[in-house]
């Protein structure tokens, strides 16, 4: 018997987009306008960036945003587009595994059918995400603890009858906490706990990516941006998902600062050249979903 739950069907459709060699390409969005523009550009799905979303809400990235505000923003993104939405939920907006399960239930209620859950640990006030974090426990959570959190996410989604795509982010490379071997050990544990894919930001060297593709028993997601191999090159290496993280938000905010500084110093407007047409943008964002 076919499940007629539209969220279930959307989740199944999202899962099919992760094909090694034919990767799902995600220009990450952070609000309704960026989500609509990403969809209009032809993206098969929309993924949020936790950093861009946090900045939009006036908060620093790095587990500082509370669950309700974060998922309120995700709900607005999901309501703004027709394609599947995957939510970057940092480390789950919860202190323990049970709390991660609560977050997943809220994610599904918000309309998302995928999540990123990271294993990074963040410290207290002023931590920029690069330090040891959390009282010196290390830059990433212990494998068993993170696996428990992923298992809780899987159980919550399964109980809701939604095949949520859980993308387990591993920060060993990004935070200098290990190389390929340590990353593969974590990947195996997280997939066994219920993750569907593995995300390794910081891994863009072709040799490293090739080793990860070969060693991970699931779709591999890499973080791309300036200096990274092209989409075609990453596809040839067997990558199944390519995302841009906060880089598009950073570029957009750079335009704001550049234009403001030019206007307030030189009194000129050259930085505004190339902006989107008012009528086109107003029509896109003012139209029905």
pLDDT, tens digit, for every residue of 225-264? 999 999 999 999 999 999 999 999 999 999 999 999 999 9
Q: With contact defined as beta carbons under 8 Å apart, do 81 and 289 qualify?
A: yes
pLDDT at residue 4, rounded to an integer: 55
Looking at per-residue confidence, does 18 or 137 come out higher?
Answer: 18
User: Which pLDDT belongs to residue 135?
Assistant: 38
Check residue 123 and give its pLDDT: 72
Q: What is the pLDDT of residue 289?
A: 73
- Mean pLDDT of the region 121-127: 60
pLDDT at 136 over 80: no
Per-residue pLDDT at 127 exceeds 50? no
Please give the model's pTM, rounded to 2 decimal places: 0.93
Return the pLDDT at 287.
Answer: 82
What's the confidence (pLDDT) of residue 6? Answer: 81
Range name among 3-7, 22-26, 169-173, 254-258 with the lowest pLDDT average: 3-7
Portion of the chain with pLDDT greater than 70, in percent: 94
For 197-212, what is each residue's pLDDT tens digit? Answer: 999 999 999 999 999 9
Average pLDDT over residues 115-144: 68
pLDDT averaged over every residue in the chain? 93
Q: What average pLDDT does the segment 183-192 reach?
A: 98
Which two three-digit tokens encode residue 226?
Answer: 């300036």
Backbone torsions φ then ψ of 197, nearest 5 degrees? -145, 170
CA dihedral 216, 218, 223, 226 (to 10 degrees): 80
pLDDT in tens, 24-82: 999 999 999 999 999 999 999 999 999 999 999 999 999 999 999 999 999 999 999 99
């Amino acid at each position: 018997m076919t499940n007629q739950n539209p969220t279930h069907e959307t989740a199944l459709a999202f899962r099919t987009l992760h094909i090694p060699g034919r990767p799902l390409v995600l220009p990450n969005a952070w609000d309704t306008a960026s989500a609509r523009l990403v969809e209009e550009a032809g993206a098969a799905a929309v993924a949020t960036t936790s950093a861009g979303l946090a900045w939009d809400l006036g908060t620093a990235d790095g587990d500082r945003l509370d669950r309700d505000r974060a998922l309120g923003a995700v709900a607005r993104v999901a309501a703004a587009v027709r394609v599947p939405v995957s939510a970057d939920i940092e480390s789950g907006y919860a202190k323990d595994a049970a709390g991660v399960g609560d977050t997943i239930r809220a994610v599904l209620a918000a309309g998302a059918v995928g999540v990123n859950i990271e294993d990074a640990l963040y410290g207290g006030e002023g931590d920029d995400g690069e330090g040891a974090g959390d009282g010196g426990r290390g830059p990433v959570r212990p494998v068993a603890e993170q696996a428990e959190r992923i298992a809780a996410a899987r159980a919550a989604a399964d109980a809701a009858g939604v095949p949520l795509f859980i993308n387990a982010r591993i920060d060993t490379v990004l935070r200098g906490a290990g190389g390929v071997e340590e990353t593969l050990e974590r990947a195996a544990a997280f997939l066994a706990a219920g993750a569907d894919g593995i995300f390794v930001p910081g891994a863009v060297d072709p040799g490293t990516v090739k080793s990860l593709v070969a060693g991970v028993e699931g779709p591999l997601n890499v973080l791309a941006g300036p200096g990274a191999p092209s989409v075609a090159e990453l596809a040839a290496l067997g990558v199944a998902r390519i995302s841009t993280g906060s880089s598009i938000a950073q570029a957009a905010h750079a335009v704001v600062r550049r234009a403001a500084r030019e206007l307030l110093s030189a009194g000129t407007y050259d930085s505004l050249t190339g902006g989107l047409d008012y009528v086109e943008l107003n029509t896109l964002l003012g139209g029905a979903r």
